[in-house]
Amino acid sequence: MAERVIMAEPYPLAFQPNATALLIIDMQRDFLQSGGFGEMLGNDVSLLRSAVAPCQKVLETARAMGLLVIHTREGHRPDLSDAPPTKLSRGRLAVGIGDKGPMGRVLVRGEQGHEIIPELSPFPGEPIIDKSGKGSFYETDLDLMLRNHGIKTLIVCGVTTEVCVHSTVRQANDRGYECVVLSDCVGSYLPEFQRAGLAMITAQGGILGWVSDSSAAISALRSASSVEEN
Ligand code: C5J
């Protein structure tokens, strides 16, 4: 399959559609809805909503193009044996990880809050990476899965920009993947961190990767499809 280009900062990124995956990070009720982990930490979770509709459009296009789509979820085993005690005690929260909240036990696998929001529900067969850390490569089989699929480029969406998206992009970058983060498909509870988080990726000639947006990604993917069909 021929190489295509996505308009991005700091410069256009060439990619091969069949070596590209869409990675959607932690679009879970616990981060986007009231009563979850994000809110327990004192955040206004409505600030993440703007990422949902653009993410949906990119997801639809990626599926239509036959791209590998991978979802991640942050969360823990019910016995919390995979959660460092430091993570459990951090924040001195009245209701924290593992405690009962309005959407079940906070950040625990199998609970309602841990689910991916219905707007972005994985299709059957789309891999879901369950991770206990912030970075999606930490103690998961993501790298193996990507290598087995011959993936070289990651289109990255999800939350939050400066935490799990950043940790994942940094880990991916060190493993040799080229990441393009879509600015309108990632979200932060802190607008200044959204700006700074994206700027850190593209600084110094793209030290961590590229930043683009949903429209540029969709037109690059569609151009790939129409050229392949001709
Ligand atoms: C956080 C995440 N913010 N998915 N997790 O704790 O960014």
pLDDT number for residue 78: 98
Distance (Å, rounded) from C-alpha 84 to C-alpha 77? 12
In terms of Cβ atoms closer than 10 Å to its own Cβ (0-12, 13-18, 19+), residue 174 is exposed
Q: Is residue 159 in contact with ligand 1, taking CB distance under 6 Å?
A: yes
Ligand 1, atom 5, residue with closest C-alpha: 164
The one catalytic residue in 26, 30, 184, 213 is 26
Distance 152 CA to ligand 1 centre (A): 25
The CA distances from residue 169 to 74, 99, 101, in Å, are: 15, 30, 30
Q: Is 31 in the pocket of ligand 1 (CB under 6 A)?
A: yes
In the residue annotation, 131 being an active-site residue is answered as yes
Centre of ligand 1 to C-alpha 188, Å, is 9
Residue 15: alpha-carbon gap to chain centroid: 19
Give the distance (Å) from ligand 1 centre to CA of residue 33: 13
27 CB less than 6 Å from ligand 1? no
Is the bond preceding 161 in cis, omega lying within 30 degrees of 0?
A: no
Instruction: Tell me what percent of the residues of the chain surpass a pLDDT of 90.
Output: 95
Please tell me if the CB atom of residue 163 comes closer than 6 angstroms to any atom of ligand 1: yes
Catalytic residue from among 164, 179, 184, 213? 164
Whether 26 sits among the annotated catalytic residues: the reply is yes
CA–centroid distance, 62 to ligand 1, in Å, is 24
Kindly give the parts of the chain with pLDDT less than 50: 227, 229-230
How far away, in angstroms, is 44 Cα from ligand 1 center? 14
pLDDT at 2: 79
pLDDT digits 0-9 by tens, 101-138: 999 999 999 999 999 999 999 999 999 999 999 999 99
* Model pLDDT, residue 227: 46
3-state class of 176 per DSSP? coil
Kindly state if the Cβ of 160 falls inside 6 Å of ligand 1: yes
Active-site residue, 55 included? no
164 lines ligand 1 (CB under 6 A): yes
Residue having the nearest C-alpha atom to atom 4 of ligand 1: 164
